[in-house]
Amino acid sequence: MIPNPILKVLSSIRANRVRALLMGGQACVLYGAAEFSRDTDFAIVADPANLERLRKAVEDLQARVIAVPPFEEKYLRRGHAIHFRCQHPDAAGMRVDFMSRMRGVDSFPKLWQRRTVMELPDGTPCDLLSLPDLVQAKKTQRDKDWPMIRRLVEAHYFENRNRANKAQIKFWLRELRTPELLVEVAQANLLLSRRLALSRRLLAHAAMGETARVGKLLLAEESAMRDEDRRYWLPLRKELQNLRRDR
């Protein structure tokens, strides 16, 4: 069940025709990998027309910016998130975050083209990041994101393994973070796993059934991606610190 405050946020976004894709914890809930999330996160296109529609949506939600940076196009384009807190009675206290650019994630037009559309309990359609794009967006330095990636891909695997197509198998080989399942998929698809091992080397060990080795390599892979994210955010964090000081 989607809580009413989140439904209010989603309905305001849709009513004002904001080009936005649900991501973060709420998207994980809809994909069946989480039971609850406090915040609502969106990827948006940061052009003047869409940002004007977004202004109307946040006005409808009686939302106010609660941190730096301010709600300006230049900060969205540089990769910052804009954080709001809703005051509308139907969404009181709900935090809503918007981003336009994320490390390692495609541009919004490509995300929009690949989006998933789900129907909410009240019949309202909801635009989400596609599952592969959501997984990519969650490859951050934050501890909580890596167990969520694992659950997202596992849930998709268990739901589709008996009728999988090639695209789904490729997704699992590229993104599974459960050693036993990765070995299972690699050994069932040896030719494909060997080809994909050119970009994900641990697949060669998965194809040979080396579960313990795959587990260690998954941890190393995660560590490397966390480091990439830390380096990406260093200049952005410095900019935020300067904005806080100036404010």
Residue 125 sits in a domain whose CATH number is 3.30.460.40
8 assigned to some structural domain: yes
Q: Which residues of the chain have pLDDT under 50?
A: 1
Q: Are residues 115 and 20 in the same domain?
A: yes
At 124 the pLDDT is 82
Structural domain span for residue 211 = 145-231
Q: Are residues 62 and 125 in the same domain?
A: yes
Q: Are residues 55 and 161 in the same domain?
A: no
At 3 the pLDDT is 60
Q: Are residues 111 and 9 in the same domain?
A: yes
- For residue 15, give the nearest of 47, 46, 71, 61 by alpha carbon: 61
3-state DSSP assignment of residue 118: strand
3-state DSSP assignment of residue 215: helix
218 assigned to some structural domain: yes
237 assigned to some structural domain: no
Q: Are residues 106 and 213 in the same domain?
A: no
240 assigned to some structural domain: no
Q: Are residues 33 and 110 in the same domain?
A: yes
What is the C-alpha separation between 176 and 157, in angstroms, rounded? Answer: 9
Q: Are residues 111 and 188 in the same domain?
A: no
198 assigned to some structural domain: yes
What is the C-alpha separation between 154 and 47, in angstroms, rounded? Answer: 36
Domain count for the chain, please give it: 2
Strand duo 81-85 + 125-128: pairing = unpaired
110 assigned to some structural domain: yes
Percent of the chain with pLDDT over 70: 98
At 39 the pLDDT is 83
Model pTM score: 0.94
